[in-house]
Amino acid sequence: MRSAGANNVRPVGLDHAAAAAAVADEPAAVTSTRLFTNRVKVYPKKVDGTIRRIKWAVLVFCLAVYYVAPWIRWDRGFGRPGQAILIDMPNRRGYFFWIEIWPQEVYYLAGLMILGAVALFFVTSLFGRLWCGYACPQTVWTDLFIWAERLIEGDRTQRIRLDAQPLSFDKARRKLLKHSIWLAIAAATGGAWIMYFNDAPTVVRDVFTLQASSTVYAFIGLFTATTYLLAGWAREQVCTYMCPWPRFQSAMVDEQTLTVTYRDWRGEPRGKLKQAPSEAKHGDCIDCKACVVVCPTGIDIRDGLQLECIGCGLCIDACDEIMDRVDRPRGLIAFDTYANHEARARGETPRYRLLRPRTMLYVAVLSVGVAVMLTVFAMRTTLEVSVLPDRSPLFVTLHDGSIRNTYTLKIANHLPQQAIYRVAIGGLPGAALSIAGGDAVGGGSEDGVTVAVPADSIGTFRAYVHADRGAAQGGEAKLTFDVFADHGAVAHGASTFHAPASDRPSR
């Protein structure tokens, strides 16, 4: 894979005089030292065809999901968020339909992102840059912006002419209208993003009645500006210069990966249609450049696979249309593997190999990852306990000679209603427990203290454990805080009971 953009970079270096002047800390007369060529603006031409229609369908689907998802309601009961997908920052919760994620469970999100990355590697190894060409937000929004631009300024030729014209009333009117539409789309994009972090109907009403917080307005402004700049102005430069993905995706691609391929064995030597006297002298490419002018990144696929090619396939539609017109078979440009490209050139039957070591490795990693995630999720509990002993002091000797240790006990109630917990000490015979704010319950095996934890929150308690000096033979003993919920869940928090060092056995 080569970079056409890289070919435009001019090597730069100071000449000897300039270098000497720089060393002497004197201003140097720097000669022509431009690091990059200017951007050549791309004016993609409208194209019709199967791939274009698929791209429109994917675009509409992606936009519909993005704009509609925050409006889906989900009943979680009174006083709880009624939005199906919500990241509730003030209450530190993430909601995805029936799933509720706590901050300490952020590893679920990390796991999902890792699985998403492996899935992307897998798809790329099979189908090349499917993500870039069809579903990447940069591609989707750039497509949308170009559609709006074409609506106002016309197709490629009209847009080139308009840009070349001096400023006139008509040009100013069109530009103003175009940028207004761009800004409206960008603002809708930024506004929709905010809805994933706030109740959608509420935040929309607050935004339009100027009652939303300054943070909301700031983020809408930020996402409006980035969408407008990236999709309206930067466009293909994001893919070519800013995005790291094209740089390392070549590690996932091999000769069996589907890529947009120009069948040079069929098209070359290219030549103008009217100059093509016979098939023996001329290939099928009539050098019309239809494939070049529709390309959203402005490259010529006939130069081979390039870093700038996002794999959108629009050049396939353009070329197929030309082939129909000149009465040649379609598929001079097509999705194909390099191995099949070579096989076809030799007149052999193409073969597709989906099962390859790398794809099987990705499937194995994905399967293990999904299995682990599902297992961890299935074992998710509604109750969690953590115990932290006080370090200073480790223990207190009471007036009757007994020892008291103090702990910070945390009980996480993951239920949407208040829960009552009975806490008892295990593993330390004769120990007594008291909890600040807790109610003691007593009697045989029911010994312990009850505490209440409000819905969907973590209760933090000071817990005191009293025991005879003899209970901690050797200066310390293991114990557990056994927590029994009224709804049946049980959890244990392990810790240590400390006694005076003098009680340690002498050696």
256-275 residues near ligand SF4, rule: CB under 6 A = 260, 267
Cis status of the peptide bond prior to 269, with omega within 30 of 0: yes
Closest approach of Cβ 333 to ligand SF4, in Å?
A: 6
**Considering only 135-143, 281-289, 348-356, 404-412, which stretch makes contact with ligand SF4 by CB under 6 A?**
281-289
Of 207 and 294, CB closest to ligand SF4:
294
Q: Which residue in the set 125, 297, 359, 495 belongs to the binding site for ligand SF4 (CB under 6 A)?
A: 297
Give the number of other Cβ atoms within 10 Å of residue 333's Cβ. 27
Pick from 459, 465, 443: nearest CA to 451: 459
The verdict on 130 binding ligand SF4 (CB under 6 A) reads no
Q: Which residue in the set 333, 334, 385, 409 belongs to the binding site for ligand SF4 (CB under 6 A)?
A: 333
The verdict on 291 binding ligand SF4 (CB under 6 A) reads yes
The verdict on 286 binding ligand SF4 (CB under 6 A) reads yes
The verdict on 200 binding ligand SF4 (CB under 6 A) reads no
Q: What is the DSSP string of 480-507?
A: EEEEEETTS-EEEEEEEEE--GGGSPP-
**Considering only 73-81, 317-325, 381-389, 408-416, which stretch makes contact with ligand SF4 by CB under 6 A?**
317-325
The verdict on 318 binding ligand SF4 (CB under 6 A) reads yes
Question: How many residues belong to the site for ligand SF4 (CB under 6 A)?
Answer: 28
22: amino acid identity, one letter: A
**Distance between CA atoms of residues 87 and 108, nearest Å:** 14
Closest approach of Cβ 95 to ligand SF4, in Å?
A: 38
**Distance between CA atoms of residues 50 and 57, nearest Å:** 11
Dihedral Cα 155, 159, 160, 164, nearest 10 deg? 160
Of 203 and 332, CB closest to ligand SF4:
332
The verdict on 293 binding ligand SF4 (CB under 6 A) reads no
Token reading at 143: 């497509």
**Considering only 18-26, 67-75, 159-167, 292-300, which stretch makes contact with ligand SF4 by CB under 6 A?**
292-300
CB neighbours of 394 closer than 8 A, spacing ≥ 6? 405, 498
HSE at residue 99, side-chain half, CA atoms within 13 A, is 13
The verdict on 246 binding ligand SF4 (CB under 6 A) reads no
Supply φ then ψ for residue 459, to 5 degrees: -90, 130
- 8 Å CB contact between 312 and 139: yes
Q: Which residue in the set 123, 177, 216, 288 belongs to the binding site for ligand SF4 (CB under 6 A)?
A: 288
Q: Which residue in the set 175, 289, 358, 410 belongs to the binding site for ligand SF4 (CB under 6 A)?
A: 289
CB neighbours of 480 closer than 8 A, spacing ≥ 6? 425, 426, 427, 492, 493, 494, 495
Closest approach of Cβ 339 to ligand SF4, in Å?
A: 19
Work out whether strand 448-453 and strand 490-498 pair parallel, antiparallel, or are unpaired: unpaired
Closest approach of Cβ 208 to ligand SF4, in Å?
A: 39
CB-neighbour burial class of residue 413 (10 A; exposed 0-12, middle 13-18, buried 19+): buried
**Distance between CA atoms of residues 291 and 285, nearest Å:** 10
The verdict on 312 binding ligand SF4 (CB under 6 A) reads yes
The verdict on 315 binding ligand SF4 (CB under 6 A) reads yes
Q: Which residue in the set 70, 191, 232, 311 belongs to the binding site for ligand SF4 (CB under 6 A)?
A: 311
Token reading at 467: 């025991």
Of 145 and 407, CB closest to ligand SF4:
145
Instruction: Give all strands (DSSP E) within 293-341, no chain letters.
Output: 333-336
Of 190 and 267, CB closest to ligand SF4:
267
Closest approach of Cβ 344 to ligand SF4, in Å?
A: 16
CB-neighbour burial class of residue 319 (10 A; exposed 0-12, middle 13-18, buried 19+): buried
**Distance between CA atoms of residues 6 and 272, nearest Å:** 29
The verdict on 322 binding ligand SF4 (CB under 6 A) reads yes
The verdict on 309 binding ligand SF4 (CB under 6 A) reads yes
The verdict on 276 binding ligand SF4 (CB under 6 A) reads no
Q: Which residue in the set 264, 287, 342, 503 belongs to the binding site for ligand SF4 (CB under 6 A)?
A: 287
The verdict on 314 binding ligand SF4 (CB under 6 A) reads yes
Closest approach of Cβ 59 to ligand SF4, in Å?
A: 15
Of 56 and 97, CB closest to ligand SF4:
56
Q: State the residues that interact with ligand SF4 by CB under 6 A.
A: 260, 267, 285-291, 294-297, 299, 301-302, 309-315, 318-319, 322, 332-333
